[in-house]
Chains A and B, each alone.
Chain A
C-alpha cells in the first residue's frame, strides 16, 4: 500500500506522462535506469592500518587510508552511493586496547559511512564506552532493531532503522544484532534485552516497504552467514524466513564470499546476501539498477539478475 503523498505524486506523474506522450517517459526510464551503488565492510576489528609487512598472508592489506582512497574514487564516478558497515568495528589491534574505539569511530565519520549496525565486540570496552564514542565521534547512526537498550548506557544511542533518499529512490536500512547469551559476557551485555530477530526483522522490513514507501530494504546484520546448527539464526535463515528484505549485508562469521548469495524469501522474491571477510581487507560493491513498474506487474515475484561487474 502506498501512502497518499506518493499516490498523488505517481498520479500526477502519470498524467504528465500522458500529456507528454506515454512513450517519452518510458523511453527515458528505459535508457537511463536509476542506479544505486552500495559499498560495504564488516568486522573491521580496529584494523586502521594495513596488516604489517611481516610475511603473514594478509600483509599490506586493508587500512582506512587505502579504503578512503577507493571510496573517494567511486564517489567521484557515481551519483548515488551509500556506505555501510555490519558491525564489530572494535577489538583486534592495540589501537582498541589503548584508545577504546575513538579512532575507529572517527575514521568511519571521516570516510562518510552512512550507517552501521552493532557487533558483539562493540560491547568489549563496555556499553558506557560505546555510548561515549558514538556520541562524541559518530556522524552516522548505529542501527539495531532487536536490542532493547532501555535502562542501559546505550539507551537512545541507536535507532532501529533509517530511510535514505537517493534521487528518486527511497532506501530503508535497518540493523539486526546477534544474541548476546554465550557470546557477550553478562557483565558487558548488562540489562540489554535481546528480541527475537525474525519477527523483529519482518516487522521493520514490512514497515519500511509499506508505510515508509521504500523502493529497497536493506538489513545490516551481525547474525553470521550460515550455521550447521539448525537452532541458530543466520543471514540464510533471515533471508528465507522473512518478507520485504531485498539485501542483507552480513558480518560476524568473517565469511569471504566470492559472489553474493541469492535466496528466495517467503514470498518467492529474491534476497541478496553478501559479506566481505574481515579487517577491512575487502570493500564490497553492489551496483543496483532500478526500473519503474506498475502495481499490476509487481504482483508476480521479484527477481533480480546478478552478475560480476567488469572494469571499474
Chain B
C-alpha cells in the first residue's frame, strides 16, 4: 500500500494540488546586451526621409560657423575648460549688457549640456547644444554671507564653473573663497551674474529666491554667441584653461 498508492488517490492528490496552488509565469533568466548605434548600423530609410524636411530647415539656420576652438574643451569637475569658457562669456557679456562691474559669474554644472566642445569650427547649432535652454543671464546683488551659502551648494555638488573668483572644496563646503583678489567678506555685497534658473531657486539655491533680479531678458545662449563674436573681432579664437579656480582641498 505504501509502496504502490492507488492510482485514484494519486489523481485526487494531483487535482487538489493543482487547484490550491495556482501557477503563474515568472522570469527565470535575463540575458542583456547594449547596442551602440554606430554609423555602420543599417539606417532605416523611411526615418531618414521623415527627418529630411526638419533637418533641412534646422541645418539652414544652425550650420553657420561662428568661431574656431583651438582646443577641445571638456565638462569636468571640480573645474573644466568648457565650464570656464562659459562663465568667462557670462562675466564679460553681463558687464557689457548691464553696463556695470560684475564681480562673479557662476553656472550650475547641470547647465552645461555638452560633455565636450571639440576643437575646430564651432557652429551656431553647437552653441544651441551647449546651452539649449532659454535661460536668461541675470544679475543679483548678493550679500557675502548668502554668496557663501550659495557656493556651498556648488561645493556640495562637486564644484561648478566660476569666473572672477577662486575657491576650494572641503567637506562639501566652499572654503578660501577669494573674490577680486580678496577673501569673501560676509558683509560685503557682490554683483553676481547668474541664470534665472538658479536665481529662482533651481538646484536648491533657495537663498537666491528672495534677492531681486536685474534682467533684460538677455539669453545665456546669446551671451555665448556674442562673446565668440567679440573674441573674433579681437582676432581671438575660442579657448579656455584650467586655472585652479575650483580645487579640492588637501
Contact = CB atoms under 8 A, between A and B. Distances in A.
Given A66-B37, A124-B133, A285-B35, A293 B43 contact: no
B32 A94 contact: no
Given A6-B22, A103-B51, A272 B120 contact: no
A62 interface: yes
Contact of B58 (A11, A61, A94, A289): A94
Which of the four size classes fits the interface of chain A?
Answer: 35 or more
Nearest to B74: A57
B42 interface: yes
A3 to B, nearest CB: 10
Contacts of B115: 57-58
A290 B25 contact: yes
B8 interface: no
A276 B36 CA distance: 10
Interface residues of B, number: 67
From A54, A308, A312, residue with most partner B Cβ within 10 Å? A54
B250 interface: no
A169 B26 CA distance: 9
Contacts, number: 243
Interface stretch (B11-19, B138-146, B182-190, B241-249): B11-19
Given A48-B51, A55-B120, A293 B33 contact: no
A34 B25 CA distance: 9
Interface in B112-158: 113, 115-121, 124-126, 128-129, 132-134
Contact of B44 (A72, A182, A296): A72
Contacts of B203: 182-183
Interface stretch (B85-93, B194-202, B230-238): B194-202
A174 to B, nearest CB: 17
Contacts of A246: 27
B15 A15 contact: yes
B177 interface: no
Contact of B29 (A50, A57, A187, A304): A304
B99 interface: no
B120 A94 contact: no
B26 A302 contact: yes
B62 to A, nearest CB: 5
Given A11-B18, A54-B118, A94 B38 contact: no
B200 A186 contact: yes
Contacts of B120: 54-55
A305 B26 CA distance: 12
B15 A287 contact: no
24 contacts: A14-B19, A14-B23, A18-B18, A34-B25, A54-B118, A55-B120, A63-B37, A65-B47, A73-B42, A94-B58, A95-B58, A110-B50, A124-B133, A168-B25, A182-B202, A182-B203, A272-B30, A276-B34, A283-B35, A289-B27, A291-B28, A293-B23, A307-B29, A308-B32
